[in-house]
């Protein structure tokens, strides 16, 4: 049966409020949670960006939920440090933590002052990072000279079972590439034909493990409010790669999305006051075979969304499954 999770958006919500939200989500019937990992928000209107790894320890302790995080090792984070973070959370909370690894966005990575590499170089760098992280989690001493450098690193605190390393992808080509190394695949909501093609490419290339989907939604009791929230908070997030990869600051995203038509927001966010329509959208994703679906209400206030989906949406989806 598909697991339904709550997405913790650090770019939008103060970490204390976000912790309260994920505790409330567990009580309301959500089965799991996942977390973003940003240094900066996508818009100045979002206005937050807490440190995910500090928050994850608190959230795992405060709930019984399994958690995942989407991380980009290689520039802002050294892979040995990410391996240590993964290993420590895995040791403290066995079987409850996984990490999705991707190539990242300039908006978070430019802070190091290093040049933002081409996509092919970022892919190669991530592949090196994956190998370093896996070796460290396996207990090996690692030295490596390449796009990342490691000198005689060894993890002294490790879980008995290494947490899964999930591949993050939004394109068919990247999904196929992730099959080479990942323990599963994660992507975001898109037209079902595109999602089906991504899943097919991943599986046909030998991709193993669970399929995760993050779904952006905006719900409010009134349609106008659901649209206002989506437009205010998520119109800066409508840009396809490479634009979303290469812009550097929240101000850049705000400038280019200033006159964004609402129709474009509807392309990336499931916006409706009708809970039945949300059930219908999610049933389409269920039919594609996703093992976990994390729901991200793009508003900054989460309680009403959690209560409504916990009471009216998740039970219908579970009965359908």
Could you tell me whether strands 292-297 and 3-8 are parallel, antiparallel, or unpaired per DSSP bridges? Answer: parallel
pLDDT of residue 220: 98
26 is catalytic: no
| DSSP code for 317 | H
pLDDT of residue 321: 60
Could you tell me whether strands 211-218 and 270-271 are parallel, antiparallel, or unpaired per DSSP bridges? Answer: parallel
pLDDT of residue 319: 87
Report the distance separating Cα 99 and Cα 37, nearest Å: 11
pLDDT of residue 234: 97
Q: Of 11, 26, 105, 128, which is the active-site residue?
A: 105
SS3 73: strand
| Domain spans, the chain | 3-320
Q: Do residues 292 and 164 make contact, with C-beta atoms less than 8 angstroms apart?
A: no
Phi, psi of 258 (to 5 degrees): -60, -40
251 is catalytic: no
Q: Do residues 7 and 18 make contact, with C-beta atoms less than 8 angstroms apart?
A: no
pLDDT of residue 57: 98
| DSSP code for 166 | E
pLDDT tens, per residue, the chain with 321 residues: 899 999 999 999 999 999 999 999 999 999 999 999 999 999 999 999 999 999 999 999 999 999 999 999 999 999 999 999 999 999 999 999 999 999 999 999 999 999 999 999 999 999 999 999 999 999 999 999 999 999 999 999 999 999 999 999 999 999 999 999 999 999 999 999 999 999 999 999 999 999 999 999 999 999 999 999 999 999 999 998 999 999 999 999 999 999 999 999 999 999 999 999 999 999 999 999 999 999 999 999 999 999 999 999 999 999 876
Q: Of 10, 38, 216, 297, which is the active-site residue?
A: 38
Tokens of 131: 């190998």
Q: Do residues 298 and 233 make contact, with C-beta atoms less than 8 angstroms apart?
A: yes
Going from the C-alpha of 198 to that of each of 3, 61, 89, 245, the distances in angstroms are 20, 35, 30, 20
CATH fold of the domain at 3-320: TIM Barrel (3.20.20)
Q: Do residues 220 and 226 make contact, with C-beta atoms less than 8 angstroms apart?
A: yes
Q: Which of 142-147's residues contact partners 24+ apart within 8 Å by CB, and which partners?
A: 142/80, 147/74, 147/121
Report the distance separating Cα 46 and Cα 304, nearest Å: 19
């Amino acid at each position: 049966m598909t697991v339904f999770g709550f997405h913790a958006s650090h770019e939008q919500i103060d970490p204390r409020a976000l912790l309260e939200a994920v505790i409330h989500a567990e009580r309301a019937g959500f089965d799991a949670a996942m977390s973003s990992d940003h240094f900066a928000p996508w818009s100045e209107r979002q206005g937050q960006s807490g440190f995910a790894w500090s928050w994850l320890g608190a959230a795992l302790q405060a709930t019984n939920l399994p958690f995942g995080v989407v991380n980009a090792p290689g520039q802002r984070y050294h892979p040995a440090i990410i391996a240590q973070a993964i290993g420590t959370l895995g040791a403290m909370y066995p079987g409850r933590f996984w990490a999705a690894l991707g190539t990242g966005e300039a908006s978070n990575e430019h802070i190091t002052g290093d040049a933002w590499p081409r996509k092919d170089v970022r892919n190669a760098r991530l592949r090196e990072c994956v190998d370093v992280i896996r070796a460290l989690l396996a207990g090996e001493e690692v030295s490596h000279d390449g796009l990342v450098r490691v000198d005689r690193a060894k993890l002294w605190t490790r879980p008995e079972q290494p947490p899964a390393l999930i591949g993050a992808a939004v394109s068919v080509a990247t999904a196929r590439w992730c099959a080479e190394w990942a323990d599963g695949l994660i992507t975001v909501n898109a037209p079902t034909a595109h999602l089906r093609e991504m899943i097919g490419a991943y599986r046909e290339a030998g991709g193993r493990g669970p399929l995760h989907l993050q779904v952006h939604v905006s719900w409010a009791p009134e349609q106008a409010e659901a649209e206002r929230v989506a437009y205010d908070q998520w119109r800066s997030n409508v840009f396809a790669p490479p634009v979303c990869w290469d812009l550097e600051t929240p101000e850049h995203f705000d400038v280019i999305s200033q006159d964004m038509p609402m129709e474009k927001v509807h392309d990336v966010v499931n916006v409706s006051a009708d809970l039945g329509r949300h059930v219908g959208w999610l049933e389409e994703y269920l039919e594609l075979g996703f093992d976990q679906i994390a729901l991200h209400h793009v508003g900054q206030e989460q309680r009403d969304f959690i209560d409504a989906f916990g009471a009216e949406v998740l039970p219908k989806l579970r009965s359908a499954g």
